[in-house]
Structure 1
Amino acid sequence: MTSSQDTIDYLIEQMSGAGVITARKMFGEYGMYCDGKIIALVCDDQFFLKPTAAARAYLGDGAEEAPPYPGAKMYLHISGEKWDDSEWLSELIRVSMPELPEPKKKK
């Protein structure tokens, strides 16, 4: 099953307070980017944030890890009921950004 464009559009809108949010199709699902950095994967309409110490601290005891697809590394799974709070979701992205690697330069 693949993610719907409606899910992607909604997440882009909800995270827009963190920076320029874009999505790119990859592996039949989506990679989510903030200011050019990959921040998350959306697989089967589920949101998986790249794990960082800052994101874990922000989530506290609510941090849930899961692989976005079989055989993948563990990501932070952000459940759908948390997506409605745009300020919370944008802040989660903002605190994660400094720990995420810069995009690789294209040759």
Structure 2
Amino acid sequence: MDRKETKQLVSEVIEYFSGLGKLTSRSMFGGYGICQHKVMFGLVSERKFYLRANRNLETVFITHGMAQFVYRKRGAPVLMRYFHVNESLWNERELLDELVSYSLSAAINDIEEKSKPEGARLKDLPNLNISIERLLRRAGIISVGDLINFGAINSYIRVRAIKKDVSSELLFYLAGAIEGCHSAALPESIRNELLEHLKCY
């Protein structure tokens, strides 16, 4: 599927679910994320549309025969929390609308929970560990909400201000943590964009 066909499918998905309000797309995981108010709940990749799951929704999606999305980074498979909307679901509009609603609500709830001071600790996010959490705390980034609000680049700059020799790989760790994915799954386009923005500082 070439880029033009992929964009066409993205447009069709956005139109199909227009009842959710204004939807947008962005480059993600080698395809395009489908978002509502910057909250990504769907993914278009390789002629397929996927819905985002949380821990509870995974079982629901599997029950409906939805296969999990496998992203390949330099040949290495990375399981993502997105599940394929198969042909039978496209033929059951009411059920599909319900699953999409669940997916969007779960994505919004995940972000809200992470933003709460009492929510998950920084070390519990993808790519992060206790050492990175301590480093972030020294830089004034105490909670998951702080990390989300500052963003990957500003958080990295704060860390670099107190640890000059910090690797640029940390920037990708932070971006992946915010997106909820392994840093290896960040598309090259996102990595390049991050590095370009970093040059401005």
Q: Work out whether the TM-score is over 0.5.
A: yes
Q: Which residue does the alignment assign to 2:84?
A: 77
The correspondence for 2:23, drawn from 18, 21, 24, is 21
Alignment of 1:1-107 (within 5 A): 1-2=1-2, 4-52=6-54, 53-54=56-57, 56-57=59-60, 59=61, 61-70=63-72, 71-74=77-80, 75-80=82-87, 82-83=89-90, 87-100=94-107, 101-102=110-111, 104-105=148-149, 106=151
Amino acid at match of 1:72: V
Deviates more, 1:79-88 or 1:64-73: 79-88
Question: Considering only aligned residues, what root-mean-square deviation do their CA atoms show, in Å?
Answer: 2.9
Q: Secondary structure at the match of 1:64?
A: coil
Deviates more, 1:44-53 or 1:75-84: 75-84
Higher normalized contact order (CA 8 Å, seq sep 6+, divided by chain length)? 1
Deviates more, 1:34-43 or 1:78-87: 78-87
Q: Secondary structure at the match of 1:67?
A: strand
Q: Which has the higher helix share?
A: 2
Shift of 1:97: 2.3
Could you say if the C-alpha distance between residues 10 and 97 of structure 1 is closer, same or farther in structure 2, counting changes exceeding 3 Å?
same
Does the CA contact (< 8 Å) of 2:51 and 2:103 recur in 1?
no
Could you say if the C-alpha distance between residues 94 and 35 of structure 1 is closer, same or farther in structure 2, counting changes exceeding 3 Å?
farther
User: Equivalents in 2 of 1:56, 1:20: separation in Å?
Assistant: 29
Shift of 1:31: 1.0
Q: How many residues align?
A: 106
Task: Give the unaligned 5+ runs of structure 1.
Answer: none
Residue identity over aligned pairs, in percent, reads 25
Task: Give the unaligned 5+ runs of structure 2.
Answer: 113-147, 155-201
Q: Which has the higher strand share?
A: 1
TM-score (normalizing by structure 2) = 0.43
Could you say if the C-alpha distance between residues 49 and 61 of structure 1 is closer, same or farther in structure 2, counting changes exceeding 3 Å?
same
